[in-house]
Amino acid sequence: MIQTNSKEMIAMLLAGGQGSRLGVLTNNVAKPAVPFGGKYRIIDFPLSNCVNSGIDTIGVLTQYQPLELNAYIGNGQPWDLDRLYGGVSILPPYVKGSEGEWYKGTANAIYQNIHFIEMYRPKYVLILSGDHIYKMNYDLMLKHHKEKNADCTIAVLKVPIEEASRFGVMNADDNLKIYEFEEKPKEPKSNLVSMGVYIFTWDKLKEFLIKDEGNKNSDNDFGKNIIPAMLEEGQNLYAYEYNGYWKDVGTVESLWEANMDLLNPNVPIELNDPPWKIYSRNGILPPQCIGENAKLHNSSISEGCKIDGEVENSIIFPGVIIEKDVIVSNSIIMPSTIIESGSLIEYSIIASNVVIEKNSQIGLNKKPILNNEKREITVIGQELIITEGTIVPAGVMVDKSILEKGA
Amino acid sequence: MIQTNSKEMIAMLLAGGQGSRLGVLTNNVAKPAVPFGGKYRIIDFPLSNCVNSGIDTIGVLTQYQPLELNAYIGNGQPWDLDRLYGGVSILPPYVKGSEGEWYKGTANAIYQNIHFIEMYRPKYVLILSGDHIYKMNYDLMLKHHKEKNADCTIAVLKVPIEEASRFGVMNADDNLKIYEFEEKPKEPKSNLVSMGVYIFTWDKLKEFLIKDEGNKNSDNDFGKNIIPAMLEEGQNLYAYEYNGYWKDVGTVESLWEANMDLLNPNVPIELNDPPWKIYSRNGILPPQCIGENAKLHNSSISEGCKIDGEVENSIIFPGVIIEKDVIVSNSIIMPSTIIESGSLIEYSIIASNVVIEKNSQIGLNKKPILNNEKREITVIGQELIITEGTIVPAGVMVDKSILEKGA
Amino acid sequence: MMSNVLGLIFSYSERENLREMTKTRTLASLPFGGKYRIIDFILSNYVNSAIYDIFILTRNNYHSLVDHLGSGKEWDLTRKRGGLRILSPFSNPGSNETGVYKGTIEALSRNMHSIRRSMAEYIVISGSSILCQMNFQDILKSHIERNADITVAYTRAMNGCNIIPQGVNLLKMDEDERIHDLIINNDDINAQDVTCDIGVIVLKKSLLESLVADAMSYGRYDFYRDIIQRLSSTLNILGYECKNHIFEISSVTGYMQANMNLLNEDVRKNAFVQPIYTKVKDSVPAIYLEGCHVKNSIISDGCKIEGSVENSILSRGVKIGKGAIVKNSIIMQNAEIMKTVILDHVILDKDVMVRENRHITGHDTYPVVIEKFSIV
Amino acid sequence: MMSNVLGLIFSYSERENLREMTKTRTLASLPFGGKYRIIDFILSNYVNSAIYDIFILTRNNYHSLVDHLGSGKEWDLTRKRGGLRILSPFSNPGSNETGVYKGTIEALSRNMHSIRRSMAEYIVISGSSILCQMNFQDILKSHIERNADITVAYTRAMNGCNIIPQGVNLLKMDEDERIHDLIINNDDINAQDVTCDIGVIVLKKSLLESLVADAMSYGRYDFYRDIIQRLSSTLNILGYECKNHIFEISSVTGYMQANMNLLNEDVRKNAFVQPIYTKVKDSVPAIYLEGCHVKNSIISDGCKIEGSVENSILSRGVKIGKGAIVKNSIIMQNAEIMKTVILDHVILDKDVMVRENRHITGHDTYPVVIEKFSIV
């Protein structure tokens, strides 16, 4: 009924995965809603990339624990996505005939929302996932897609060849045309790996989605099924090389590292970048307060914090309270957590709304540390209470409150 | 993370039902999204009642064919429900642990969204359904609820006692305290019937929802389980009498009647009521155009229409084209339908995006009509094409295009 | 896909004469075409061309415009980045006169502080006295491809206007559409073979900044005379033809004609080929009561008609009583016409009430205008 | 639950002296408490009291206010019904002076056309020179229960102000809080036992309409002198005590003091007991680099600190270079303080740059104010 113009490209963001490798951090929230970088959530990165690239219509496919994610996205206003026509839409599974159907795989999730996509009559569809940290102009990628007259363009990254076997590897000719795709090959033939960012010409994708859905043996997955099928049928698949910072934050270690990268001036991920802002939903909090006894070194601290202790090489999220005589180093403290006086925290990720009571020690390493050895990361799950004087050794993942000393 | 004030009362709108008694009209859309009254959808009535009553936080529980309903509600802006905190939220079923769960009944749908309700820390919860046409100030009902110190208040309507057996009947004392509830009793003891509008004190409702969920034999339904259980346990249930216009539009006949009521000055449902506007999502359409050959009698016509024929006692929705030498009488023509020249339409509901080609006859009654006999309603389903010269007799429900003459 | 264009709209015209209709409102907020205001057509051009960063320059009487536009939601222009902004004429705090600019150049200069902060590369300027469906991306593309310094949109026929009104700029172009001179029309003329400016100009923001600064320093205030005409030999100023229907609204007769043209089906189709956004009023559908006669008219939501309406345009919420006859007239919002009134060639402004039995008749060449809130 | 209250905010004060700080902005848009503007505290009082229908009366220099508030989204005031509306001082088209009202009553009178259209029954008026967390539903309840004609909020101690500044209204009340007289404070005084008006007034809309019309017809323009004082014997004018912390901002020293009070934890808790909404800027978190020393300060998002900061309030995006020392100062948005600068008792307005090695020192009783955009 509403007359409107069609959209050239819309984005579909796969946010349904459980993210089990993030352990206690995704017990109650979907991975894209995990806090990152002092005030953001992981999903802020693909969403902000979209709006900064001029894409104003985004479907977010959710399935697992979507409540917090849904509330976070809300009407999309923080990302300027509260549009009358387009904007951000949450797309959960639903009942069609007499029964409902959950999303079986990434491709099936898109398949089930063909009707949604067709509402906007797009020429191209951008497929994104919700667990990568990067700043990317999808508009340049689209230009490349059009220039190559591609059916599908896959964003790729050059990695050291010895790391390539952890990824999907694209084997492409000089013209960047992909002739082979190998998922986590033992002997990678190329160092171009997929970033999980695809642009498809919609008509073509739709055809392959419908075909794939008819195949009972398919996992209905882009990497495993759709891309190989397209290659097999001789479609035009092209690689698009991206040169900036990109990090998969699917594990505790990589999440910690990506946060620490923000404090390292030598790593090329600058968030303070006015023409390419990362937008996020801001809490309504007063500015941070730094007390008489605070000592701050190379750290990032957010709104609503009250800091009266020592903070070094750490990322402190909004609303955190750090009392005096606390030392926090090389750690990530998520929103509204309280660290009481006398506690020591090292190489840890403390999730949101945790209370670390007085004189506790989290993540301290008693072993001697060898050169170049990576420190193990300690994780405390959401909303836990760690009682006074508790010692949580390095590398432990805590998912229940510790209410008695020595427990 | 966002500090906010609690809400005194929030509304939960049950919009998940399939509405099978509306036949072809709900083949592809949920009942609350069915067009009504010339420019509205059924759900506009409870939504507008909420905002006019000062309720700004509404959860809409959807399950069946929600796409069109979701797109219609969008960010809630047409109802002034695009709030930073609160507003309208669509609540589909989702995956919690390792698998998802569909809504089993009305009470289970609320049960599955306890977490959503608790986000707003409401004192009271208003439960509404999405298939009634009425204008009601829920704030007055809340006042009554508080005055009576009730655990649950049920809005009731006085009906002729002979009709009461079609409804849930409330047997209440002089003080309006309910002592018995009978679902569609053969011998109704009272003419107070439930309108399907409940206010619960949230703590109490939560307690009964959890209890009901534990009962394996329960249908998890408000009328069948929650209300009887509360009565049984001696809770304070009160009736709140409503005196205005109210109509359940769950059948084709009642939907037609309710539309016709709008054209009857003697029926007390006035939509042109500035302090109690019914809001709706407006299409972006130009004003209506009345041509050289038009004849209009006691009809309601909406934006974007082009009328060059004769229209009598009919409701014409936005974007309808009625060509010359057409006669439409006692009918409802839903959005963007085209009636080509020479066609005759009587006592019909033509759904949206239908094309009635030239010289067709829809709903004409060949039998003599007795006094007081109700005319049968003819229904043409969404997006159908009725070929030139087709005759669709009275009372037929068409759910496939008629592409050949005489078919 | 990414927009790097800023829209600038002049909400007023320096040459309009619309009698009582613009006494308390700026031209851009004048009702037009039933439920619309003039600004709706202009803003929709920008939104439909995917330009979402828009400033509206005002001079005076712009309260009605602020009221109509609100936060810009209905045009999808409530945005964190860009969106709609009304620049009130206060911008230069040093000045002691407010709201009166010496010309378009001074208006631009006083608002240059805001314009400069936009990150846009190009600017598309529109006026408010000529309406036309236009895709600004097309004119922009032509501007870039033809390497123009300034592109000026023009129309050849002024379709829809019987005569070319005074004050319209007539462009002199060579065969490559390069503009080499400009004449300001001094008479209402009937000429056939002229090319008329329609108030749409495209240029780079940086060029606008320097042209305006330069003109101001010489005390030159008129964009057309002092920039386009004066610099036509040094800059590459090109024309761009707009072939869509033109609505010219700078006089009462022009306004009447422009409205009446919408009753023509081809004109209407052309005008509404893209969506025209406007303020949502949540009115009920129009009601046609027993005994009404309505012919060849445009009727808006919320009207209630018991009488006769012919060749007329009714805005929202108009009531026409039993036995009343309304012909060749424009009736604005919430006007109430009681029983057996006769109106012919009349423009009733908003909230006018015409009591029973009154007869008012104007003429094609001089429609009667009844001021807002009048009771006749 | 349903709101029938209209909020009216005066965005300016007739008695403020804030030197360069209000040269190009109205008082209500002055930065305060780090990332906020004064209007944020006032508007949040309304929103937290569930009053969503608000007019802001302006006099001049209100562009910065329009910029800050935008569509009102961040205060959840972008609404179809009610919401936020800035009334520009143009309202009376007949007048040839714009933006200068003879007094509060004339300001109300000129905007009465807009006020009258609101469907509210009650009006809650706030000024901009005194801030205080207040629940307006409480004062309204007391107004209705005590059958007051007008309720005037007052504070006993002016907590947080060492002295009571000139121009504050001192209320004389009997033991039932009925106001029988009003004195306008002529000296900066240190008195203990006075009751000071804090600029919040509650009354029925219908009463406001008639009082204003009446005063205007006699050429009386001051709400306090000409309505509250003059009519204190005929109307039931009651006081309502506000016990929360008061921030009084009508002089530079008052402004400095009010900001510094926020460094006190109890004051801060009291001020932020309810959410204070403000414009979202999407700044990055504050970065504290190696070698910084920060003590007893309020720091906003987007700051980057390499030097020392003590007893100071930093707004968003402030940069403090290596070796710089900032003490007892207020640094507004995007100021840049280079290496080894020393600032003590200084107020740096927005976008000021202080080059290397500069030392600027003010005093408690006379803080130095550096104007917006200055380069020192």
> Tens of pLDDT along B252-294?
999 999 999 999 988 888 898 888 999 999 888 999 999 999 9
Q: Which of A278-292, C182-196, C219-233 has the lowest mean pLDDT?
A: C182-196
pLDDT at residue D118 tops 70? yes
Chains in contact with A, counting 3 or more C-beta pairs less than 8 Å apart as contact: B, C, D
For the cut 80, the answer to whether the pLDDT of residue D98 exceeds it is no
Positions of chain A with pLDDT under 70: 1-5, 18-19, 95-100, 405-407
Residue C370 has pLDDT above 80, yes or no: yes
End-to-end C-alpha distance for chain C, whole angstroms: 53
Nearest chain D residue (CA) to A309? D295
- Kindly give, in sequence order, each residue whose CB lies less than 8 Å from that of residue D174, ignoring residues fewer than 6 positions away: D180
Chosen from C71, C75, C85, C350 to mutate, greatest number of chain D CBs within 10 A: C71
pLDDT category, B366, cuts 50, 70, 90? confident
H/E element, A109: helix A106-111
Contact C296 B292 (CB under 8 A): yes
- Measure in Å the smallest separation between the Cα of C258 and chain B Cα atoms: 16
Say what the pLDDT of residue B104 is.
Answer: 85
User: Between D1, D76, D81, which is nearest B8 by CB?
Assistant: D1
Angle at B280 between CA C267 and CA B310, to 5 degrees: 50
Task: Answer yes or no: do B139 and D81 touch at CB < 8 A.
Answer: no
What whole-number percentage of chain B has pLDDT above 90? 66
* D61 chain-C contacts, CB cut-off 8 A: 90, 93
Contact, A199 vs A125, CB < 8 A? yes
Nearest-Cα distance to chain A for C274, in Å, is: 8
For D64, nearest residue in chain C (alpha carbons): C91
Residues in D closer than 8 angstroms to C80, CB to CB, are 280, 282
- Percent of chain B beyond pLDDT 70? 96
- Which of D3, D79, D275 minimises the CB distance to B4? D275
Give residue A98's pLDDT. Answer: 57
The pLDDT assigned to B407 comes to 46
Lowest-confidence segment of A386-390, C177-181, D96-100, D372-376 by average pLDDT: D96-100
Where is average pLDDT lowest: B319-323, C248-252, C339-343? C248-252
Q: Residue A373's pLDDT is what? A: 76
Q: Domain map of chain C by residue range?
A: 5-271, 287-370
- pLDDT score of B96: 63
- pTM of this prediction? 0.88
Provide the ipTM: 0.85
At C90, the pLDDT band (50, 70, 90 cuts) reads low
Q: B282 to chain C: which residues are within 8 Å by CB?
A: 280, 282
Confidence of residue B26 (pLDDT cuts 50, 70, 90): confident
With an 8 Å Cβ cutoff, are C288 and B39 in contact?
A: no
Pairwise CB contact (< 8 Å): A139 & C1? yes
Nearest-angstrom CA–CA distance, D266 and D261: 9
Compute the average pLDDT of residues B63-85: 84
**Percent of residues, chain D, with pLDDT higher than 90:** 62
Taking contacts as CB-CB distances below 8 angstroms, the residues of chain B near A119 are 71
Residue B65 has pLDDT above 80, yes or no: no
Helix, strand or coil for residue B404? coil
Q: Which chain B residue's Cα is nearest to A283?
A: B2
- pLDDT at B100 > cutoff 90: no
Q: Which residues of D touch A284 (CB under 8 A)?
A: 275-277
Cβ of C299 and B284 within 8 Å?
no
By the CB < 8 Å criterion, does A28 face chain B? no
Predicted local confidence at residue A244, as pLDDT: 93
Summary mean pLDDT of chain B: 90
Candidates C133, C282, C300: best to mutate against B (most CBs of B within 10 A) is C282
pLDDT at C117: 85
Q: Which residues of B touch D84 (CB under 8 A)?
A: none
Q: How far is C90 from chain A (nearest CA, A)?
A: 29
Does the pLDDT value for residue D376 go beyond 90? Answer: no
pLDDT value of position A148: 95
Which long-range contacts link C218-223 to residues 24+ away (Cβ below 8 Å)? C220/C105, C221/C101, C221/C102, C221/C103, C221/C104, C221/C105, C221/C106, C222/C103, C222/C104, C222/C105, C223/C103, C223/C104, C223/C105, C223/C108
Q: Which residue of B has its CA nearest to D1?
A: B54
Asked if the model's pLDDT at residue C94 lies above 60, the reply is: no
The band of C93, judged by pLDDT with boundaries at 50, 70 and 90, is very low
Q: Which helix (H) or strand (E) holds B138?
A: helix B138-147
- Determine the Cα–Cα distance for residues A123 and A381; give it in Å rounded to an integer: 43
pLDDT at B92 over 50: yes
B37: CB partners within 8 A, 6+ apart:
B133, B258, B259, B262, B271, B278, B300, B315, C285
Residue D293: strand pairing partners = D308
**Which amino acid type is present at position B335?**
P
CB contact D362 to C (< 8 Å): no
Q: Average pLDDT of B382-399? A: 93
What whole-number distance in Å separates Cα of residue B225 and Cα of residue D373?
A: 69
What is the pLDDT at residue A65? 74
Q: Which residue of C has its CA nearest to A142?
A: C1
Q: Which of A44, A259, A296 to mutate to test the interface with D (most CBs of D within 10 A)?
A: A296
Give the residue on A whose Cα is nearest the Cα of C276: A3
Provide the pLDDT for residue C1.
Answer: 43
Does D76 contact B85 at a Cβ distance shorter than 8 Å?
A: yes
Confidence band for D90, pLDDT divided at 50, 70 and 90: low
List pLDDT tens digits, range D206-248.
Answer: 999 999 999 999 988 889 989 999 999 999 999 999 988 889 8
Q: Hey, are the CB atoms on A290 and D302 less than 8 Å from each other?
A: no
* Residues with Cβ within 8 Å of residue C219, at least 6 apart in sequence: none
Q: What percentage of chain C has pLDDT greater than the value 70?
A: 95
pLDDT of amino acid D144: 95
Higher pLDDT, B372 or B29: B29
Instruction: Supply the pLDDT for residue D14.
Output: 80
Most confident region among B9-23, D4-18, D263-277, D295-309 by mean pLDDT: D295-309
Q: How many CA atoms lie within 13 A of A33 on its CB side?
A: 24
Report the pLDDT averaged over residues B221-247. 94
Whether residues C275 and A3 touch (CB distance < 8 A) is answered with yes
pLDDT (0 to 100) of residue A92: 83
Interface partners of B (3+ CB pairs, < 8 Å)?
A, C, D
Q: Is the dihedral of CA B201, B204, B210, B212 positive or negative?
A: negative
In eight-state DSSP terms, residue A77 is: G
Scanning every residue of chain C, which has its alpha carbon at the shortest distance from the alpha carbon of A9? C1
Rounded to an integer, the average pLDDT of C70-82 is: 87
CA-based nearest residue in chain D for residue C71: D71
Q: Is the pLDDT of residue B372 over 90?
A: no
- Do D284 and A271 lie within an 8 Å CB cutoff? yes
What pLDDT sits at residue A3? 43
Is residue C159 predicted with pLDDT exceeding 70?
Answer: no
Residue of D60, D63, D71 lying closest to C71 (CB–CB):
D71
Assigned CATH for D5-271: 3.90.550.10
Coil, strand or helix at D19: helix
Region B63-77: what's the mean pLDDT? Answer: 83
Residue B75: per-residue pLDDT: 84
* Partner residues linked to B369 by β-bridges: none
The values of phi and psi at residue D370, to 5°, are -105, 125
Closest CA to C120 of C43, C204, C49, C209: C204
Angstrom CA distances, D14 to C58, D31, D127, stand at: 28, 19, 10
CA distances from D39 to A18, C185, D199, D369 (A): 44, 50, 14, 21
**Least confident among A291-295, B236-240, C46-50, C102-106:** C102-106
CA of C269: which chain B residue's CA is closest? B286
Would the CB atoms of C98 and D93 count as touching at under 8 Å? Answer: no
pLDDT of C3 reads 67
* CA–CA gap between residue B130 and residue B249 (Å, rounded): 10
Inter-chain contact C1–A9, Cβ cutoff 8 Å? yes
> How far off is chain B from A169, nearest CA to CA, in Å?
31
Query: Over 70: is that where the pLDDT of B118 sits?
Result: yes
Please compute the mean of the pLDDT values over residues D27-47 and round it to a whole number: 94
Mean pLDDT of the region D344-353: 95
Q: D287-370 domain in CATH 2.40.100.10?
A: no
Residue D309 has a pLDDT of: 97
* D32–chain B nearest CA distance, Å: 20
In a mutational test of the C interface, the residue from B271, B280, B301 whose CB has the highest number of chain C CBs within 10 Å is: B301
Query: What is the SS3 assignment for D155?
Result: strand
- Please report all neighbours of C, defined by 3+ CB atom pairs within 8 A: A, B, D
